């Protein structure tokens, strides 16, 4: 289809009201088989209301969503909702009934989600089928189509399950870490299993990957160096390049934190309706930050203020700037952080990574990340740890559960399951391969004798 035809079809699918304004019109033609046309219309009177339509270049519907409020005057049964969802999908993809199987129904806050997938050997193929969200009144509010063209490599002979179990169990080890479990606010001390980070091929003829057991998720790091005290306390906003002429142009409530956007100068005019132009006009010469509501501390920051000039600061000087910034935010940083080797990113900036440790035990997820610009010496981006490191002081850092008991609890729950995975092998003729995937507790609590299963 030509672009005007695609746009017309998208408007018909989205049933776009006449007063809506076209905000994004983008055509991604870089990949012939996966070329897409992408459109967003927004209500100028209610900016929160928008309609999104994504089409293949042949006009097939890939994505549709609307934020328009559902009609509250009626409520359909689950059977009626499911039929309505199928009729919508089949109207745009007639092969729906032939290729896809019902997988799940999920209750959402304002709608019901139906998920359909393609199966081979009664096992679902990832990234296949479609999902559709429908309001209780029967209005489709979201549709995402994955398709079902992938080819699966069915093994002629399967590897024995017991052999695969032995492969994993014989390489098993544990380490103590602090981790936030099940979205709890406070971390715990837990035993975390370390095993090969891959799934075992189910086909006897397939090559088993090398057993790389290095745990790359936690860098060891080095003790934080001390900084010489200067007479003046560092101003973190000055270190971020924040100036008094910047104006607040946006504010958003994220629950526990506030998000604010600040701009230097006037907003640039959009060059066109493409996605790239949309984000460029929104981000150019802005600073965006998130601030904790209770403490007032900055939890995230990124600068899009353009800088042009020569490199004025060495890598070592940028590392010192990052260190001063960290100490300004966390005066007791040396008790809770370790410094890892810095890296230079694609823009020539210095990326500094400070992992969180306490009493020689690491925090599983969450580190302080600080990017320093070598042209200005300013901090271009900052990401805080997931938790305040000082809460680790409240946790007993010695385990009550012996390592042998933790291993026994883990093995009692260990199992394998067959599943399809995308095959990215460079010379493979197939899109999916069948593998044995370990099913096991993600942790063993180091203080309580209980286990958590995935």
- What pLDDT band is residue 453 in, cutting at 50, 70 and 90? very low
| Distance, CA of 39 to CA of 56 (rounded, Å) | 12
Q: Hunting for tokens 């883990």 — which residue is that?
A: 410
The pLDDT, as a whole number, for residue 177 is 94
Mean pLDDT of 276-284: 84
User: DSSP per residue over 221-263, as a string?
Assistant: -EEPPP-PPPSS---HHHHTT--TT-EEEEEEE-SSEEEEEEE
pLDDT of residue 451: 47
CB 301 within 8 A of CB 288: yes
Confidence at residue 443, expressed as pLDDT on a 0 to 100 scale: 92
Per-residue pLDDT of 359-377, as tens digits, reads 999 998 879 999 999 999 9
The label of the residue with tokens 């559709």 reads 132
Contact 51, 16 (CB under 8 A): yes
Dump pLDDT digits (tens) for 121-152: 999 999 999 999 999 889 999 999 999 888 99
Sequence-ordered alpha helix ranges (H) in 15-116: 78-92, 96-99
Judged on CB neighbours under 10 Å (0-12, 13-18, 19+), 277 is middle
Of 344, 364, 367, nearest to 354 (Cα)?
A: 367
Model confidence at 197, in pLDDT bands (50, 70, 90)?
Answer: confident
Q: What average pLDDT does range 158-168 have in this prediction?
A: 95
pLDDT of 315 reads 95
The pLDDT, as a whole number, for residue 413 is 93
What's the confidence (pLDDT) of residue 452?
47
pLDDT band at 283 (very low <50, low <70, confident <90, very high): confident
**pLDDT for the residue 231:** 64
Percent of the chain with pLDDT over 90: 69
pLDDT of residue 292: 93
pTM: 0.80
pLDDT digits (tens, 9 = 90+) for 304-345: 988 777 788 999 999 999 999 999 999 999 999 999 999 999
Arithmetic mean of pLDDT over the chain: 90
Q: What is the pLDDT of residues 225-246, one digit of tens each?
A: 888 776 677 899 999 999 999 9
Residue bearing tokens 């091929």? 201
| DSSP string over 406-430 | HHHHHHHH-EEEEEEEE---TT-S-
- pLDDT tens-digit profile of 7-39? 999 999 999 999 999 999 999 877 666 789 999
- Kindly tell me if the per-residue pLDDT of 73 is higher than 70: no
Half-sphere exposure of 27 (CA within 13 A, CB side): 14
**How far apart, in Å, are the Cα atoms of 78 and each of 92, 301, 439?**
22, 44, 32
- d(C-alpha 134, C-alpha 110), whole Å: 9
């Amino acid at each position: 289809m030509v672009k005007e035809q695609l746009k017309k079809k998208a408007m018909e699918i989205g049933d776009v009201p006449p007063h809506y304004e076209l905000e994004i019109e983008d055509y991604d033609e870089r990949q012939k088989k996966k070329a897409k046309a992408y459109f967003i219309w927004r209500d100028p009177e209610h900016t929160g209301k928008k309609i999104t339509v994504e089409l293949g270049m042949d006009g097939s519907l890939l994505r549709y969503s609307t934020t328009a409020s559902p009609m509250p005057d009626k409520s359909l049964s689950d059977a009626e909702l499911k039929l309505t969802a199928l009729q919508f999908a089949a109207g745009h993809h007639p092969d729906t009934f032939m290729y896809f199987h019902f997988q799940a129904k999920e209750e959402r806050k304002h709608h019901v989600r139906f998920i359909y997938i393609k199966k081979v050997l009664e096992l679902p193929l990832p990234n296949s089928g479609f999902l559709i969200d429908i309001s209780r009144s029967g209005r489709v509010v979201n549709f995402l189509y994955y398709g079902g063209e992938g080819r699966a490599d069915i093994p002629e002979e399967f590897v024995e399950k017991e052999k695969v179990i032995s492969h994993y169990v014989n390489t098993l080890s544990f380490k103590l870490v602090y981790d936030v479990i099940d979205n709890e606010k406070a971390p715990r001390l837990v035993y975390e299993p370390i095993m090969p980070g891959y799934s075992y091929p189910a086909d006897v003829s397939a090559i088993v990957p090398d057993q790389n057991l290095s745990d790359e998720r936690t860098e060891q790091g080095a003790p934080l160096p001390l900084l010489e005290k200067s007479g003046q306390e560092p101003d973190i906003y000055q270190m971020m390049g924040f100036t008094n002429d910047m104006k607040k142009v946006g504010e958003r409530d994220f629950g526990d934190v506030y998000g604010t956007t600040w701009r230097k100068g006037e907003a640039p005019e959009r060059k066109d309706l493409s996605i790239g132009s949309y984000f460029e006009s929104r981000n150019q010469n802005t600073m965006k930050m998130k601030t904790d509501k209770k403490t007032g501390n900055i939890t995230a920051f990124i600068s899009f203020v353009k800088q042009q000039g020569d490199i004025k600061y060495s890598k070592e000087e940028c590392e010192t700037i990052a260190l001063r910034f960290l100490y300004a935010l966390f005066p007791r940083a040396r008790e809770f952080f370790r410094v890892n080797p810095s890296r230079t990113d694609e823009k020539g900036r210095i990326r500094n990574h400070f992992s969180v440790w306490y009493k020689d035990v690491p925090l599983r997820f969450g580190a302080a990340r600080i990017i320093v610009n070598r042209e200005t010496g300013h901090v271009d981006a900052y990401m805080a740890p997931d938790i305040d490191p000082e809460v680790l002081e409240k946790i007993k850092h010695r385990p009550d559960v012996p390592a042998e008991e933790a291993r026994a609890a883990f093995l009692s729950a260990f199992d394998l399951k067959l599943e399809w995975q995308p095959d990215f092998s460079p010379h493979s003729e197939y899109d999916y391969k069948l593998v044995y995937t370990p099913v096991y507790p993600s942790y063993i609590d180091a203080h309580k004798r209980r286990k958590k299963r995935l």
